[in-house]
Amino acid sequence: MAQTSSLAEEKTSSLAFSSRTITLRVAKFNPKTDHEKKWIDFQIPYQKWTTVLDAILEAKKYLDHSIAVRYSCRQATCGSCGMIINGRPRLACFTKISELNSDVVTVEPMKNFPIIRDLTVSFDRLFKTHNSLKPFIIREDSDIPEKASELLQTPEELEKYIQFANCIKCGLCNSACPTMATDSSFIGPQALAQAYRYIADNRDKGKDDRLKIIDDSHGIWRCHFAGSCSQVCPKGVDPAMGIQLLRGYLLGFRS
């Protein structure tokens, strides 16, 4: 009985009592059946705290069940709901409608990624390049002193890389990167920033391996330092800076 009641309650949107509405314009595209994307508009009520993801889920729940969207944590931690919102790569769960200052909110899939359907893109290449740069501490020996249980670092040593450890692999930086748009083989700012994260970590001994991988014709030198990757990162990571610092290692200015 409780379950029936709960289902009945779900038929009414939690946002339905709001007097304010926006037009949510969703890009619908299925590469298997469609030749071009279609824009579909939905009128969605919203509150001050409503996020774009809430609006999309509202549309999916009550207006069009077929909208394909990937999401999970709803708190900018899992990196699943990256998309282009009003022309800019953002996390849908981390973007409030009230902050966009627009009556129309357009949502489309991230650029520079193959589209699976609607707002969902394939992350295969992102994870492949991320893995290719060995995103883990490389050490041949354990090197842990007998009485210690961990490899201790000073705050200064931690400061060198800690912001890069905040990457949630959402792909927004790759989506914003102009080089990724033209060079499909480019490693991309996400993987390069992660390469810096491990190279700058004084516990890691895999610097030479990683530098060899990124010093490629489609590697680090293809970055034009547009800086758009750093502008769109929802976690405050600065991949553009990481890339410049990595270049310092390759040019012999850093060791």
Partner 1 sequence: MKIHYGTALAAVALVAVHILFRLTQGFAESLQYESVIANYQFLPYAGMLEIILILLSIHGFNGLRTILIELKQGHSYEKAVTYGCIAAMAAVILYGSRTIFMTSVGMI
19 CB burial (10 A radius; 0-12, 13-18, 19+): exposed
Contact 27, 121 (CB under 8 A): no
Q: Which of 241/250 has CB closer to partner 1?
A: 250
Show the site string, 200-219: x = touches partner 1 by CB under 8 A, - = not.
---------------x-xx-
Among 117, 130, 169, 222, which residue sits at the site for partner 1 (rule: CB under 8 A)? 222
Q: Which of 157/215 has CB closer to partner 1?
A: 215
Q: Which of 69, 67, 106 is nearest to 87 (CA)?
A: 106
Among 39, 48, 208, 221, which residue sits at the site for partner 1 (rule: CB under 8 A)? 221
Q: Which of 49/253 has CB closer to partner 1?
A: 253
Among 5, 155, 251, 253, which residue sits at the site for partner 1 (rule: CB under 8 A)? 251
Residues in binding contact with partner 1, number by CB under 8 A: 12
Q: Which of 199, 191, 198 is nearest to 222 (CA)?
A: 191
3 binds partner 1 (CB under 8 A): no
Site for partner 1 in 147-186 (CB under 8 A): 179, 182-185
Contact 78, 93 (CB under 8 A): no
Q: Which of 27/187 has CB closer to partner 1?
A: 187
Backbone φ and ψ of 29, nearest 5°: -160, 130
Strands 38-45 and 21-28: antiparallel
Distances (CA, A) of 185 to 122, 171, 175: 16, 16, 14
Quote the least distance from Cβ 185 to partner 1, whole Å: 5
Q: Using CB under 8 A as the criterion, which residues of the chain lie in contact with partner 1 when the complex forms?
A: 179, 182-185, 215, 217-218, 221-222, 250-251
